[in-house]
Amino acid sequence: MALPKIPDYALPTQLPAPRAPFRLDPSRAALLVHDMQSYFCRPYGEDGLTRPESPLAQAVPNIARLLEAARVAGVPVFYTAQKGNQFRPDRGLQADIWGPGMQAIPEHEEIIGPLAPAPDDITLVKHRYSAFQRSNLETLMRARGRDQLIVTGIYAHIGCLCTATEAFQRDVEPFFVADALADFGPDQHAMAVNWVAATCGVPLLTSDTLTTLSGA
C-alpha cells in the first residue's frame, strides 16, 4: 500500500493534439501546484531533486518558472497539501489503497523548498484525488474571475488527472503542463497526457505556457 519507488524517465516533449479548442488566457487562468509535499516527493529518491535523470528534477524547475511568471502576470496561484495523521474514517477508501498516509510532521507535510508558496498564494487542504473535492477551489477561482486552470505537480495520472477532469466537469478549462508534472513512470505519465488531450483539456509544454504568461 506504500508509494512505489519511482524510476528515472524523461518527461514528454511531444504532445498529442487536443480535442478541445481552449486557448490559455492569463486574464482567465489560475495556476495549481498539486501535492508537491516532501512525503510525495520521497519516492523519487533522496537525490530526486538533483539527479538529472529524475522526473522530479526535470519538473520542479519548470514549475518554479511557471510560478514566477504567474506571479508577475497577476495569475492567482493555488497549492494543494494534505494534512498528516488523518482520521481513518475521514481518509476513507484512500486508506485501503495507500495506507494511513503521511504523518503530521514537517518532514512529510511541507511543500518542497524550491516551490515554497509566496505570501499571496493560497494553499488548500487536500482530501481526495481531485483538488476540487471538499475544497473551495472553484469558489476562490470564480471570485477572481478565473475559469481556466493550469495543472502542475504530482502525480500526473492520479490527482492531477482527476483535478483536470473535474475542472472540465465544472466548466473550468484545464491546461495540463506535461513537463511540469511527474508520475510513477513514463507509461502512466503518457496515459494522463493523452487522456486529457482526448477528453477534457489541452496539454502544453512549459515553454509555450511561459510565452503566453509573459505576454500578459
pLDDT digits (tens, 9 = 90+) for 14-68: 999 999 999 999 999 999 999 999 999 999 999 999 999 999 999 999 999 999 9
> Looking at 48-52, 86-90, 108-112, 153-157, which range is the least confident one?
86-90
Report yes or no on 81 lying in a domain: yes
DSSP one-letter string for 24-61: --TTTEEEEEE--BHHHHGGG-TTTTT-TTSHHHHHHH
Closest-CA residue to 160 (of 35, 2, 11, 48): 35
Report yes or no on 201 lying in a domain: yes
97: pLDDT strictly greater than 90? no
Produce one character per residue of 163-173: b if its CB has 16 or more CB atoms within 10 Å, e if not: bbbbbbebebb
In this prediction, residue 104 carries a pLDDT of 78
Report yes or no on 190 lying in a domain: yes
66, 189 in Cβ contact below 8 A?
no
pLDDT digits (tens, 9 = 90+) for 169-212: 999 999 999 999 999 999 999 999 999 999 999 999 999 999 99
What is the Cα gyration radius of the chain? 16
Report yes or no on 19 lying in a domain: no
Indicate the pTM of the whole model. 0.96
Per-residue CA distances from 179 to 39, 103, 138 (Å): 21, 29, 25
Domain of residue 132, residue span: 29-214
- Type of residue at 204: L
Mean of all residue pLDDT scores within the chain: 95
| Domain count for the chain | 1
Report yes or no on 17 lying in a domain: no
Which residues participate in catalysis according to the annotation?
35
Report yes or no on 60 lying in a domain: yes
In this prediction, residue 81 carries a pLDDT of 96
Report yes or no on 7 lying in a domain: no
CATH number, domain at 180? 3.40.50.850
Report yes or no on 21 lying in a domain: no
216: pLDDT strictly greater than 70? no
